[in-house]
Structure 1
Amino acid sequence: MSKVLQINGAMPGLGFADIPREIIPFLAGYNLIPQLISQRIIESAIVPITCTQAETSHALEQLYQNWDLTTEQKRQDWCLRYGLNPEQLELFATRKLRVEKFKQITWGHQLESYFLKRKRYLDRVIYSLIQTDNKTIVNELFFRIAEGECTFAELAREYSQGSEADRCGIIGPVELGNITPNFAQLLYTSQVGVVQPPVAFGNSWVIVRVEKLISAQLDDFMRQRLLQEHFEAWFQQQLNQLSPEEKIWMGVNTKSAQMQEVA
């Protein structure tokens, strides 16, 4: 019998598979052990998740199409080549669906409240910007706009020192959560269409005008995104529970993980 390497997770019941020792150099040499650990974490979580017969049949049909397994003989040869029995084939074919079901079952009931909590950061904004490191010039530009001497776009194109100058000062749409908090607060509290007086940010002075606020909606796309956010946070928690050796493979900062656990 071949010797095996047992990868043991710190999580109870994680169930990492025994790995034939002869393939360990291959996995390590191609840096595949992190992928193995990642997939086993996910596999352990979706063990209880099942699919209906219709879902399984559909998943198998998609698999057959993707691999051009148009005949029963091709399917048998393919399974033999990869060492899959019928049960393993079904698990392989339905894996992506079972992961999505796991997300929905685990966090689907939390999406509405989570969305409301995150909405302010998910809202998008389109705004005009002029930025310069010269306080005297920025004040002059503000008054020229206020008095209607020049348009915001004209002055942004001529004086703004950022890449927005190529777009006549227009930036966005961009999510408020992707903007520096203090600047996002300025945009969030600004009245649409009103030019704000010059404000210092870092080494620059800026003039902004919010052109449009786009409210985030809890549609299908947003639901999938929020489920994925939950899933990624959960996965990071699982990484923090791995053994020290496994954390090294996964590139987890053990000191940071320990601080998080204490906190």
Structure 2
Amino acid sequence: MSVVLEVDNQVYSAEDLVPLLSQYQMLPKLAQEILIDRLIAEVECTEEENTSTLNQFCQQNQLTSDEQVEDWLNKQGMSREQLQKLITKRLRLEKFKQVNCNDQVDAHFIKRKSQLDRVVYSLIRVERPEIAQELYFRIKDDENTFSALAMEYSQGTEAQTGGLIGPVEINAPHPKIAQILATCQPGQLIPPARVGEWIVIVRLENYLSAKLDSPMRQRMLDELFNQWINEVTKQKVSFLSSPVTS
């Protein structure tokens, strides 16, 4: 038996690992990583990029000499070539995304924008409709501030912030609250409405339109690639037999 892993004095052979990968539902992820490695196999890094990533890796792992690097490689069962592929994988994958997905980012953002817009809103939730109705009129008639009543009466964690929630993406709240917010104007107070077990009072404070800035562009790029690689994985990966030992 060829031992490849020891955990808490328990040794595992290569044959033991396949059933474990299946048991822990890691085979699909492994298959996807294999596909990604094949996709980016021809993507190259410059000498400067190779050196920079190696230096960063050594700093992060406190490897200050060639001897320490060799010792780390031996413990991991890796060659220097494998290490270089590992530490440049993220960079090479980003280059692949730029070449293959970047021209779709604008259209994807437009398609997703209504879900990416953010809101700041105030919320009070109580169990009894008559209390909600009273609080609503006290806020509407300026008898009390929304914040003060939320801190005193609201039965959720929002009481700690005076009812204020956000900024959050507009699809983050309960679907019914999200639907209410999508039709509001900033400053608009919404009469009590039932949402699940609660009666809620909502006021939209601010509406923040999503912008295709650098972080958002990266997010859209990642979404496009993840959608694509998930589809490719479904099409090209098959588990031919159950890897469970008897």
**TM-score, normalising length from structure 2?**
0.78
Matching residue of 1:100: 94
| Change over 3 Å in CA distance of 1:143–1:37 after alignment to 2 | same
Post-superposition offset of 1:176: 0.7
Alignment of 1:122-133 (within 5 A): 122-133=116-127
Matching residue of 2:209: 215
Post-superposition offset of 1:127: 0.8
**TM-score, normalising length from structure 1?**
0.74
User: Is the aligned partner of 1:178 residue 2:172?
Assistant: yes
Return the structure number with greater relative CO, CA threshold 8 A, min gap 6. 2
Q: 1:84 aligns with which of 70, 79, 88?
A: 79
Matching residue of 1:193: 187
User: Is the aligned partner of 1:156 residue 2:147?
Assistant: no
Amino acid in structure 2 at the alignment position of 1:180: H
Matching residue of 2:230: 236
Q: Deviations over 1:77-109 (max 9, x none)?
A: 6556634254x4432331121111122222112
How far apart in 1 are the matches of 2:80 and 2:157?
57
Q: 1:145 aligns with which of 139, 146, 149?
A: 139
Structure 2 unaligned residues grouped into runs of 5+: 3-12
Amino acid in structure 1 at the alignment position of 2:154: S
Matching residue of 2:32: 38
User: Is the aligned partner of 1:24 residue 2:15?
Assistant: yes
How far apart in 2 are the matches of 1:83 and 1:210?
56
| Change over 3 Å in CA distance of 1:145–1:55 after alignment to 2 | same
Amino acid in structure 2 at the alignment position of 1:52: T
Give me the identity figure in percent: 40
| Change over 3 Å in CA distance of 1:107–1:150 after alignment to 2 | same
| Change over 3 Å in CA distance of 1:137–1:63 after alignment to 2 | closer
Amino acid in structure 2 at the alignment position of 1:243: S
Matching residue of 1:257: none
User: Is the aligned partner of 1:165 residue 2:141?
Assistant: no
User: Is the aligned partner of 1:54 residue 2:48?
Assistant: yes
Post-superposition offset of 1:69: 4.5
Answer yes or no: is the 8 Å Cα contact 2:31–2:233 preserved in 1.
no
Post-superposition offset of 1:234: 2.4
How far apart in 2 are the matches of 1:164 and 1:67?
42
| Change over 3 Å in CA distance of 1:64–1:161 after alignment to 2 | closer
| Change over 3 Å in CA distance of 1:69–1:128 after alignment to 2 | closer
Q: 2:200 aligns with which of 196, 206, 230?
A: 206
Post-superposition offset of 1:25: 1.1
Post-superposition offset of 1:64: 3.6
Aligned residues: 227
Matching residue of 1:121: 115
**Secondary structure of the equivalent of 1:198?**
strand
Amino acid in structure 2 at the alignment position of 1:161: Q
Structure 1 unaligned residues grouped into runs of 5+: 3-21, 250-263
